[in-house]
Every structure is written in structure tokens, then in C-alpha cells.
Amino acid sequence: MRGGWAASLGAGVVWLLVWVHQAQAHGTTQVNEKQLVLGLTWMDSGKFLVIPFALLLVTLAALRERQSAPRRLGRAGFAVADGALVGLVVGVALEFWSFPWGSYAQDFDEPLPTYGGLVQTLASLAFTVGSALLAVDLVRSRIVPIWIGLVLVAGALTTFYLTPVLPAPGLAWLVLGAYLWRTSPSRLDAKPATAAADR
């Protein structure tokens, strides 16, 4: 699937934009400063986290296509990671979408944010497990180097805490996207043709 690298880069950019906004609206300590930035609370920007998780489904599909015959471990990793990403989309929607825009009147004690936080926590754990299984199979198959496998796992593990988010997942997905772009089959196939044309 073409565009896996672009989806990963997009996920990283959106995630880091949310992180920047939340750092201003929430603050960088555990104390919630309850600021409005661009008229939005930090819970409002959290609503956009469904976008990177949805985009990562495209990235995983692109990684799957790079393996002609994934082993059982890889198939299990893909299945768990895909299911976990769907769970993260649902969890984030439940956790943040019930908050009124531009208001701190509601807190996380309400039922939907509470249930959403539970779904998100379990889905983040599953995403980490699935990414670890997937990374092992991708490295063994020489689809990606070991450091990219570690980046994949680190990006999943650091989605555990979303109140507010950490920058690590966004950085990990930017690195992954850049690597997938540099090693994309269409780009590599175009290099010999370009070299021949230059002669």
C-alpha cells in the first residue's frame, strides 16, 4: 500500500501539534493550568488524537505489504496492533469527545471519560504487545533494522498516558515515516531510471 510513509508522517505531525497545544493549555507539570489556547482546552485538542491512530492503520497495512509471507508471529502482531488501534480510536472518542468545546466545566469523573480512559489504557497495552510481536517478525525478516523495530515499540508504549500526551509517539512516527519513505519500493525503483536518464 503506497502512502504508508505519508500516513506515519501525518500521524506524527498531528500528534506533536496536539502535544504543543496541550503543553500550553495544560502546562508542562502535573498541575492543570486550565488555559484556553486558540479558544480550546487541552481536552479539546485531545479529541484530534483519533486522527493519528486512524492513520497508523494505513502505516501498518503498508508494513504488512512489505512481507511476502509473514510468519505466525507477524500475523499475530498485525492482528493485535490493528485491533488495538481501533480500540484507541474508540477509547479516545469516549474519553475526550463528551467534553464541551472551550470549557473546563466537566471533568474526568463523568462516566464516558472514565470508560474511555479504561478502554484507551487497555488498548495502549495491546498496541504495545502487538507492536513488539510485529517488530520482532519484521526484524527477523530483514524488512526493517532493529532500531526501527525499537522505534515502533517505543511509539506504541508511550501512548499509554494521554492526559496530557507525551511527545515521544509523534517523534517515533516521524522517524518511522521517514524510514519508510527512504526505503519505499516506488522510490527505490525510480533511482535506476533517473540514473540512466542522467547518463
pLDDT digits (tens, 9 = 90+) for 143-188: 899 999 999 999 999 999 898 999 999 999 999 999 999 988 665 4
> Could you tell me if residue 49 is inside a domain?
yes
Q: Can you give the pTM of this predicted structure?
A: 0.88
> Could you tell me if residue 128 is inside a domain?
yes
Write out the residue range of the structural domain in which residue 100 sits: 4-191
Tell how many helices (H) and how many strands (E) occur in the chain: 8, 0
* CA separation for the pair 118, 24 (Å, rounded): 26
Contact between 143 and 66 under an 8 Å Cβ cutoff? The reply is: yes
> Could you tell me if residue 65 is inside a domain?
yes
* CA separation for the pair 172, 162 (Å, rounded): 16
Q: What is the mean pLDDT of residues 126-134?
A: 95
> Could you tell me if residue 161 is inside a domain?
yes
Please name the residues in contact with 105: beta carbons below 8 A apart, sequence gap of 6 or more: none
> Could you tell me if residue 199 is inside a domain?
no
Q: What is the mean pLDDT of residues 16-43?
A: 94
> Could you tell me if residue 197 is inside a domain?
no
Which of the four pLDDT bands, split at 50, 70 and 90, describes residue 65?
confident
Please name the residues in contact with 95: beta carbons below 8 A apart, sequence gap of 6 or more: 46, 112, 113, 116, 117, 119, 120, 162
Which of the four pLDDT bands, split at 50, 70 and 90, describes residue 128?
very high
> Could you tell me if residue 163 is inside a domain?
yes
Total number of domains constituting the chain: 1
> Could you tell me if residue 196 is inside a domain?
no
**pLDDT confidence of residue 186:** 62
Which of the four pLDDT bands, split at 50, 70 and 90, describes residue 198?
very low
Is pLDDT above 80 for 1?
no
